[in-house]
Structure 1
Amino acid sequence: MSTNSSQPSQAELGAELSAAAYAQPPIKPEGLALRLIIVIWVTAVIATIVVGLRVYVRAWMLRRAKVWGWEDTFAVMGYLAFLCSSIFAIKAASYGLGTRDSGLNTFLMVRCAEYLLYSEVVYGVSMPLIKASVVFTLLRITTEKKYRWSLYIMQFIATAMAIVGILASLLYCKPVKAYWNPLLGTCGDFMTVVKIGYAWTAVGIFTDWAYAIIPYLIVRKLQMSARNKTTVMVILGLAAVASTATIVRAPYLQYYLVTKDRLYWNGYISLWCQLESGIGLIAACLPALRKLFTRYFESSRNGSNAKSKQYIAGSRNIVGSQTQMDNLSPAGKTTISIGKWKRLGDGNSSTSHIILHETTVTVETESMNDEEKQARRV
């Protein structure tokens, strides 16, 4: 009895493992882990700039028009979730995500698995928010019920699938801490989570392509120039680019079930998850930036036109003046008078505002003989 009482319980062992894991310093990322961190940083920086410009345009530049809508709110919320997911993915890469088992120990694996779960859950929150931003953007430009209901249904499916995926990850182990520390509880059949992952991927690909096709069907009926239609279609259709990351990620889902180098292969899954949400967020914000680009190009064009007008005005002043060429060769001296403007003197011209440009050219050459002068007069 005394021997049994001296042995620590499983909960105590789990607590000791957690304490040792949190005392473990991070590793220096290399290979896939380093690439993962770089890609996430670049994507997060670009997304931050694009979302910042969107907020500037909608909340400040167009503040008098009060155009801020639900699509903007969902974009900001999706960005915050994407940023949190990116931070957790970077933390996970610092503790073993994207690194093979030979370079890790148990404590690093525990710490990495915890951050990886956080990143996946918050990623699951970000995607329906980003898709909602696209949906509400499209709802602004269509009143046809068939398109509006199609958008509502797709958004419902995407949101429901995300909720199922999040719950599957959180309920896989009891308690949740057992997901990264198996000594703290028990976990179910992970194959269920993998199947949900495949279904989530299929729904993501379907909805991304639907969001790319529907803008074409909507915009082609709008009254605008072909050039503007093409621009709007391309901008709104960029949501399909995010599906590329989803398609590339799909084959890596099988590595959820491996026992060796599991965190290494999960690095690819995390990489494409972050790219999917980052690209989707950027694409969702581009329609709102069209006004900014339009105003910039108009300002540049107006500035060029103003310079052209100043140049023309200056040229007219030069041409309109009397120019004397006093340094000609001894053969002759020439005086040119150009640029006199005169209003026609009849009554009709005053009412019609007709202006006659009269140009007088006088050539005097001392060396000309009488015959040459007579010839010029003719």
Structure 2
Amino acid sequence: MTTIPPNPLPPDVDKGPLFLILTCILTVLSFTATFLRCWVRRAHRQLGWDDYLMVPTTLFTLVRTGIQIASVFHGNGRHVWYLSDEDTIWVVMAGWYTQLILFPSICLLKMSIALLLLRIKDTPRTKVAMWIMMAGLIATNLLPVIILLAECSPVQAYWNLSTGKCWNPKIRIYSIYLQVAYSILTDLICSFLPIVVLYSVRIPLRDKFLVCGLMSLGLIATTCAAIRASSLGIATSDLTYDYCIAAIWANTELHMAIIGANAACGRSIYKHFRYGLNPPDDSQVLSNPPYPSRTGYFRTSEPSLNLTGQAKAQTTSTITSTKEDIEFDNYPHTIKKQTEFIFLESRIESQEEPSRRAKDDEAS
């Protein structure tokens, strides 16, 4: 797999070590953030579809990182003219596999963020907007995957042109440009929507700034996506070097978005480690429901955001209670998926007292 070398040859620089170190650090941070998020939410029985999508996203990044580590030892990050044909084929093949992993990862990640936003505000209009956005994510990320699988016949011709034929690479590059453009749009939506939503939510101003600031980490991913697109170019003969640069920006984009989405749940993680399963709550109800809600999402009303729920108590004896509306003066500090609330033990005991007295009278 040879290309015509330029005259003079560029210096034999190696971006591989930088690529390796940065990718490993970001992967560890992403995995740790996802693990803590899911662990805490599982402990509080608050797992939702946003968490279920974040898990495979993070697992995909682990596989992608493993392939990229191996590619560095074959010369990924060096100019192609300093590599053997065998190493060049291996690096290009690894790049093909990591691209196949990248686009589904971005799609699942952005869908997870969209579902996380629905925990804050799930009005009909917001639901429609988020589902339309997610449909666009599926379409724009599926297109480059289809092109990657179809552009060469057989597929092996992508990394070894002597075995077959391939389409013009411009087709693949243009599909990636479309994917990047839509990804930037969704990053902007997911970064600024929490600011609009939390404007009317009655929580401390400090918490508003914290959540909005963490969600705005997605703007870093937006910048990385734009740089990734600009680094691709329409055509290149130095695949092992140019695509390494593009992969650095792609990894930064992907991992910063994962870290930002998980960090938005950081307050609940902090409260879990400080207070355990029963953190203090301004609403005077336990924040740990015994069973998850059917939908898994926390619904708010507009604009006052007073929460109404059906009070239920689970004990060893059968308790009959009527439905009551509970209004809270303060919105919970963390994003929670609660549609059912639990009375304090004192409230439950007060409900059990009449039945106890009746049983005692019968026994006597």
**1-side partners of 2:267 and 2:155: how far apart?**
44
**2-side partners of 1:154 and 1:42: how far apart?**
31
Aligned to 1:305: none
**2-side partners of 1:295 and 1:124: how far apart?**
33
- Whether 2:207 is the aligned partner of 1:224: answer no
Q: CA deviation at 1:285?
A: 1.1
Amino acid at match of 1:257: A
1:45-66 residue CA offsets vs partner (Å, 9 max, x unmatched): 1112111111221112x1xxx2
Q: Residue 122 of structure 1 aligns to a residue in which SS? A: helix
Contact persistence 1:121–1:166 (CA under 8 A): yes
- Whether 2:178 is the aligned partner of 1:199: answer yes
**2-side partners of 1:221 and 1:159: how far apart?**
31
- Whether 2:23 is the aligned partner of 1:40: answer yes
Alignment of 1:281-296 (within 5 A): 281-296=258-273
Aligned to 2:236: 258
Aligned to 1:53: 36
1:186-223 residue CA offsets vs partner (Å, 9 max, x unmatched): 11111111111111111111111111011111111222
**2-side partners of 1:272 and 1:220: how far apart?**
33
Aligned to 1:361: none
CA RMSD for the aligned pairs?
2.0
Q: CA deviation at 1:132?
A: 1.3
**Structure 1 spans left out of the alignment, 5+ residues:** 1-16, 18-28, 303-378
1:16-68 residue CA offsets vs partner (Å, 9 max, x unmatched): x9xxxxxxxxxxx97211111111111111112111111221112x1xxx211
Q: Residue 140 of structure 1 aligns to a residue in which SS? A: helix
**1-side partners of 2:169 and 2:15: how far apart?**
25
Q: CA deviation at 1:227?
A: 1.9
**1-side partners of 2:187 and 2:252: how far apart?**
14
Aligned to 1:165: 144
- Whether 2:214 is the aligned partner of 1:235: answer yes
Aligned to 1:70: 49
**2-side partners of 1:172 and 1:97: how far apart?**
23
Aligned to 2:68: 89
**1-side partners of 2:195 and 2:271: how far apart?**
21
Q: CA deviation at 1:250?
A: 2.1
**CA separation of 1:298 and 1:230: change in aligned 2, threshold 3 A:** farther
**2-side partners of 1:153 and 1:34: how far apart?**
41
- Whether 2:90 is the aligned partner of 1:111: answer yes
In percent, how many aligned pairs have the same letter? 22
Contact persistence 2:224–2:249 (CA under 8 A): yes
Alignment of 1:335-346 (within 5 A): none
Contact persistence 1:58–1:288 (CA under 8 A): no
Which of 243, 246, 271 is the equivalent residue of 1:269? Answer: 246
**2-side partners of 1:88 and 1:248: how far apart?**
22
**1-side partners of 2:71 and 2:147: how far apart?**
20
Contact persistence 2:231–2:242 (CA under 8 A): yes
**2-side partners of 1:122 and 1:247: how far apart?**
19
Alignment of 1:210-221 (within 5 A): 210-221=189-200
Alignment of 1:349-364 (within 5 A): none
**2-side partners of 1:89 and 1:156: how far apart?**
30
Amino acid at match of 1:58: R
Contact persistence 1:58–1:68 (CA under 8 A): yes
Aligned to 1:101: 80
Q: CA deviation at 1:238?
A: 2.2
Contact persistence 1:57–1:289 (CA under 8 A): no
Contact persistence 1:198–1:253 (CA under 8 A): no
Q: CA deviation at 1:297?
A: 5.9
Q: Residue 75 of structure 2 aligns to a residue in which SS? A: coil
**1-side partners of 2:104 and 2:162: how far apart?**
28
Structure number with the bigger relative contact order (C-alpha 8 A, sep ≥ 6) is 2
Amino acid at match of 1:203: Y
**1-side partners of 2:271 and 2:216: how far apart?**
19
Amino acid at match of 1:198: Y
1:265-286 residue CA offsets vs partner (Å, 9 max, x unmatched): 1110111111111111111111
Q: CA deviation at 1:296?
A: 4.7
Which one is further off, 148-157 or 159-168?
A: 148-157
**2-side partners of 1:153 and 1:113: how far apart?**
35
Q: How many residues align?
A: 267
**2-side partners of 1:188 and 1:298: how far apart?**
59
**1-side partners of 2:135 and 2:231: how far apart?**
26
Q: CA deviation at 1:249?
A: 1.5
1:104-132 residue CA offsets vs partner (Å, 9 max, x unmatched): 01111111111110011101111011111
Structure with greater proportional helix content? 1
**1-side partners of 2:193 and 2:128: how far apart?**
12
Contact persistence 1:75–1:284 (CA under 8 A): no
TM-score where L is the length of structure 1: 0.67
